[in-house]
Amino acid sequence: MAKYKVLQSFKDIKTKEEYTEGQAIDMAVKRADEAMKNLKKWDGDFLERVDNKNNEQEDGE
C-alpha cells in the first residue's frame, strides 16, 4: 500500500468509494495505476503519490 493525495474528486468504479479533493488515502500501487489510467479521459491529475518509495535506499546511506 502507498499513500496518495487526491487532487480532484472522483468515485472509484471498483469499490464505489468516493474520494474528495485534498483527502489522503492508502491504495495499492497497482490499483492506483489502474485508476489513474481510467481517469485519463478527464482533464488533469487525480492522484499524487506522497510517501517516499525510496526509504530503503536512504536508510542504507
pLDDT exceeds cutoff 80 at 58: no
Give the pairing type, strands 18-19 and 24-27.
Answer: unpaired
Q: Which residues contact 30 (CB under 8 A, 6 or more apart)?
A: none
pLDDT tens, position by position, 4-49: 999 999 999 998 999 999 999 999 999 999 999 999 999 999 999 9
